[in-house]
A and B are shown apart, each in its own frame.
Chain A
Amino acid sequence: DTEVTQTPKHLVMGMTNKKSLKCEQHMGHRAMYWYKQKAKKPPELMFVYSYEKLSINESVPSRFSPECPNSSLLNLHLHALQPEDSALYLCASSLPPAGLNTEAFFGQGTRLTVV
């Protein structure tokens, strides 16, 4: 199984809603990532978890709250988002670290629209 599964595929939420994005992998990877991608732009790193601990937070606003409950799951909790937060949210995982000898595997993303 070389898949990273993200749910839901599409999400529309109001600015006062609370929602969560989920990401799951069963490849034994111990590094997991959240990226945000706007149209015609590259993926922009938000958070990195290494061995279930948050190792990087790229100064992301607190309305985005990541969680890594175990080595297979990664969540992104959303609260009080703004319309400019609408984007494709990508989850990725790697056998850490993603660079020395290994690749990152990406999910298909969650297309988020904030109304």
Chain B
Amino acid sequence: SQKIEQNSEALNIQEGKTATLTCNYTNYSPAYLQWYRQDPGRGPVFLLLIRENEKEKRKERLKVTFDTTLKQSLFHITASQPADSATYLCALFKAAGNKLTFGGGTRVLVKP
């Protein structure tokens, strides 16, 4: 069966440091992996998309990597700020029926 797993433990990090989040998946091929940010009581907001044939994508202070051998994506927030505190969700897409499925999410807390 298909699975998407994220570290369920909250990540506490000091302002200015790099936060690294992990998303592992099984039985998705081809994989188009997306990362979303969700603040409490609000809908997820799209951040980045990376395809199976791409190794790395960047957007401002965000970087996503993709290792198809390990079936793993890493999401980095560099020079983290308290405003980056949120839950970060990875999501995978299945072409049959346009199915977008989320991992469990990782809560990030950036302390000043």
Interface of A with B (CB < 8 Å)?
4, 31, 33, 41-45, 48, 50, 55-56, 88, 90, 92, 94, 96-109, 111
Contacts and interface: CB of A to CB of B under 8 A. Distances in A.
Interface of B: 32, 34, 41-46, 49, 89, 91-95, 97-105
A109 B45 CA distance: 12
Nearest to B102: A42
Contact of B41 (A31, A33, A88, A99): A88
Contacts, number: 73
B45 A106 contact: yes
Contacts of A43: 44, 89, 102
A41 B104 contact: yes
A44 B102 CA distance: 7
Nearest to A106: B43
Contacts of A56: 97-99
B104 A109 contact: no
B46 A103 contact: yes
23 contacts: A42-B102, A42-B103, A42-B105, A43-B44, A48-B97, A55-B97, A56-B98, A56-B99, A88-B41, A90-B43, A92-B100, A94-B98, A94-B100, A97-B95, A99-B93, A100-B32, A102-B49, A104-B44, A104-B91, A106-B45, A107-B43, A108-B43, A109-B43
A45 B101 contact: yes
Contacts of A108: 42-43
Nearest to A103: B46
B28 to A, nearest CB: 10
A101 B49 contact: yes
A44 B94 CA distance: 15
